Structure 1
Amino acid sequence: MARITRDAIVALLNNQLIRFGLVGLANTIFSYGVYATGVYLGLAYYIASLVALLVGIVVSFFMQGRLVFRAQLSGRFSSFLVMWGLLYLLNIGLIRLFVTFGMDYYFAGLLAAVPVVVTSFILQKLIVFKG
């Protein structure tokens, strides 16, 4: 059986794409925690979801910028917000397209997530945190 060494783990964590995935997973879990806490405290689900989204965007900016792209963050938040707006439009556009071709909304949302995540990585790497 292959043994996982410390050096192998360090090499993996030095891979930007792996860090992107891990940070995305951590942010998703954190955002869900914010959402669940809001619902538990009596917020309407749509308010809790909005708060989780906004907090998630801010946390994502810092985590992606520092941990994934290792960039200086000063002056980049506005382009990060624009990117999120574009990703949202891409997401709803793809969902609408897939539903038009007969998919249900659940599967369409899942399928749309793939190009949205890939586009997010590319935009952050080449535009938002370039440097």
Structure 2
Amino acid sequence: TPKVVQNRGPGKPGNQIDMHRGTRVFFGFDVANVVPNTALGPVVIAFEGETNYRSLRYGNNGMDKITLPALQPPRTYANRTLLFQRQPKGVFELVIGTSQQASKWQRLSLQQNGLYQMQSGREFGVFE
């Protein structure tokens, strides 16, 4: 995702990403209409051996927004492909993909008619 909200202050990589409205359903939330800047609830994310509750909300810009585990510089989510995989007990594993993985995930999404594009041009996909 090229666009990461710079929410952590100067010199720190951002850890919030905007997602297509309705992405919340993947994380187990209702698709019901809500007013902007509404907290939808916590998402349990497993990342690099740690499991944390991270917030999901409907932003002022009409997009679902998730807060990811914070990274320390020079690591960043910007211009990286992220994969969320459902795990047992409501946990979602987060993987920052290599370029080879990103190509594979894109291909799988395309093969299953699950590759989409946001108005900004950023692609996102789903696959089994």
What TM-score do the two structures reach when normalised by structure 2? Answer: 0.24
Structure having the larger proportion of residues in helix: 1
| Structure exhibiting the larger radius of gyration computed from Cα positions | 1
